Homo-oligomer: A and B are copies of this chain.
Amino acid sequence: MTTTVGAPESAHHADLDLGPAQSLSCRECGHRTPLAAEFACTECFGPLEVAYDFGSVRREDIEAGPKSIWRYRRLLPVPSDVDVYPNTEPGFTRLIRADRLAAALGVRRLWVKDDTGNPTHSFKDRVVAVALAAARQLGFTVLACPSTGNLANAVAAAAARAGWQSVVLIPSSLERAKVLTTAVYDGALIAVDGTYDDVNRLATELAAEHEDWAFVNVNVRPYYAEGSKTLGYEVAEQLGWRLPEQIVVPVASGSQLTKVDKAFRELGDLGLVEPTPYRVFGAQATGCSPVSAAYKANQDVVTPVRPNTIARSLAIGAPADGPYVLDSVRRTGGAVEDVTDEEVVEGIRLLARTEGVFAETAGGVTVATAKKLIEAGKIDPDAETVLLITGDGLKTLDAVQDEIGPKATVPPSTAAVREALGH
């Protein structure tokens, strides 16, 4: 028996086409249930995950595909004609060799996966695109989310492009810039008088009441989360179809880290890469570091915290996938570490001045955590490392505004410029 939350009738049609996806599987008890708009196991209330039958997938098929996440459509819960429908075409962002950052950090071979090149400049475009494609198959007609930033942008833009209605719920205290970058897409942007927790609770209630609303991170979460696998697929393909030895991933809910790990294992299982060993590292801000705390205390449970950090896109105090992050990290021989807000800002600046990539605070967390792990000898400086930069500094200007500015203000004369430069 399964209980369906916010799932329209058509979700149960026999012609449901979600590509290689076969069922939903409980990550706790393994119980299987048919593909539908569900997110919790009816046996044990554990989280549901998409289970697949991939069949045979070849590199050539992927390489011949579009230059977006849809080149991996045979590995995602989406129909094979997914790219026929208007969508934001996210993914296939740059993987850049970061020699100058490597030198600064004292490692030999370093890469930066720069996901700021996505349509709304964060990795959320990936997960939202997969959620929308699955939601269409499941019979939904409205795309919705509670959010304080990147997710709101991605949902509103994806819905606009697809011609869907969107409902985006934000706390009414949200900064004006983040409101504007969502409101411009002209969906139903609703400001809620309350905390982000209030907004989240409201989203779950609305999902239960509106059977045609797909809340990307609530009732279609199992599909949505799979979108993060594409970060792992791309890194491997862009490295020439091989796995990196080490990868550093920021941890908010923890979903992204576990999906990158999943992607690497799938590629090995499918014979698309040699299944070489890799180590996964998690990065948190000290002001919201429940997973790092659990890792350091050698615990399996993650104790919720009240977030207090400038890295707001990572500020999830009760991370749903925290225990699975611990599993991935421990299984692969990685670690979880956290850094102060001052280190976050220095991480943003270090990446910008060495590689010309301006990351949001979450990127600063990743760079600063990598630095700390290298200094502690936990990241091997002689092994190849990839850093995931998942969002754009243009959206978190407040984090750096007190730290940087012009070198000098001068009158319009060449002598004044020379003097300012110390020539």
A-to-B contact residues, CB < 8 Å:
67, 86, 88-89, 92, 94, 96-97, 99-100, 114, 116-121, 156-163, 167, 169-170, 172, 176-177, 179-181, 183-186, 188-194, 198-199, 201-202, 205-206, 209, 348-349, 352-358, 392-395, 397, 400-401, 404-414, 417, 420-421
Question: Do residues A401 and B180 form an inter-chain contact, with CB atoms below 8 A?
Answer: yes
14 cross-chain CB contacts under 8 A = A100-B161, A100-B163, A119-B357, A121-B394, A157-B357, A157-B358, A172-B406, A176-B401, A184-B353, A184-B358, A185-B358, A190-B408, A190-B420, A192-B412
Distance between A239 CB and nearest chain B CB, rounded to angstroms: 14
Question: Do residues B407 and A194 form an inter-chain contact, with CB atoms below 8 A?
Answer: no
Question: Do residues A186 and B67 form an inter-chain contact, with CB atoms below 8 A?
Answer: no
Q: Which residues of B contact A400 (CB under 8 A)?
A: 180, 184
Q: Which residues of B contact A99 (CB under 8 A)?
A: 86
Distance between A311 CB and nearest chain B CB, rounded to angstroms: 16
Question: Do residues A160 and B353 form an inter-chain contact, with CB atoms below 8 A?
Answer: yes
Question: Do residues B417 and A190 form an inter-chain contact, with CB atoms below 8 A?
Answer: yes
> Shortest 4 CB-CB distances between A and B: which pairs?
A161-B356, A186-B353, A157-B356, A160-B356
Q: Out of B116, B177, B355, name the residue touching A160 (CB < 8 Å).
A: B355
Distance between A38 CB and nearest chain B CB, rounded to angstroms: 20
Number of copies: 2
Question: Do residues B410 and A184 form an inter-chain contact, with CB atoms below 8 A?
Answer: no
Q: Which residues of B contact A421 (CB under 8 A)?
A: 167, 188, 190
Distance between A338 CB and nearest chain B CB, rounded to angstroms: 23
Question: Do residues A193 and B410 form an inter-chain contact, with CB atoms below 8 A?
Answer: yes
Question: Do residues A414 and B119 form an inter-chain contact, with CB atoms below 8 A?
Answer: no
Q: Give CA–CA (A401, B184) in the complex, Å.
A: 9
For A183, the closest partner residue in chain B by CB is B404
Question: Do residues B89 and A184 form an inter-chain contact, with CB atoms below 8 A?
Answer: no
Question: Do residues B119 and A119 form an inter-chain contact, with CB atoms below 8 A?
Answer: no
Q: Which residues of B contact A170 (CB under 8 A)?
A: 406
Q: Give CA–CA (A109, B169) in the complex, Å.
A: 35
